[in-house]
Amino acid sequence: MASRISSALSGIAGEYFVAAELTRRGYIASLTLRNTRGIDILASNLDATRSVGIQVKAAQGRNKTWMLNQKVESNEATNLFFVFVRLNHLDAPEYYIVPREDVSHFSAENHKLWLATPGRKGQQHNDNPMRQFKDAEDKYRDRWDLLGLDGDA
């Protein structure tokens, strides 16, 4: 098997890994159709009394950084989570479960900092729609509890 797969395949793999992990944990996970904007998976508890929308972002390699679009900063969806997946070649993937509000805040603040920091040659960065999310401290790693699909969460 190749050491890297295309970004399209890594995105699809990420969605299926997340759906499988949710199912393994006892939840209902339904992949949405490709034209469903902003939600890749609908997840609920077994009796459907709690549900969330999930957007999946997958990345390959050691880096815990995922690329996003500036739309993440203005999305006002409630009950939406991001699950960032780090594909580790053929090893088990890593999952980072993050509330949409936290992604939005991090993305906006990180982008402001990037704009204020001079580039390699001392030049000012040009604004663009690309954003990043990273979890360097593993604050969100395996935080499936944040989805609130169990008990009184």
Mean confidence (pLDDT) of the chain: 89
Structural domain that includes position 33: 7-147
In this structure, is residue 133 part of a structural domain? Answer: yes
Q: Domains in the chain: how many in total?
A: 1
Q: What is the pLDDT of residues 93-130, one digit of tens each?
A: 999 999 999 999 999 888 888 888 888 888 888 888 89
In this structure, is residue 153 part of a structural domain? Answer: no
153 has a pLDDT exceeding 80? no
CATH number at residue 129: 3.40.1350.10
**Residue 151 — pLDDT band, cuts 50, 70, 90?**
low
In this structure, is residue 92 part of a structural domain? Answer: yes
Q: What is the pLDDT of residues 78-98, one digit of tens each?
A: 789 999 999 987 789 999 999
In this structure, is residue 48 part of a structural domain? Answer: yes
Distances (CA, A) of 1 to 12, 58, 63, 79, 86: 17, 18, 21, 37, 18
Residue 1 pLDDT: 43
Distances (CA, A) of 84 to 50, 55, 109, 134: 21, 8, 19, 9
Q: What is the pLDDT of residues 16-69, one digit of tens each?
A: 999 999 999 999 999 998 767 789 999 999 999 999 999 999 999 877 889 998
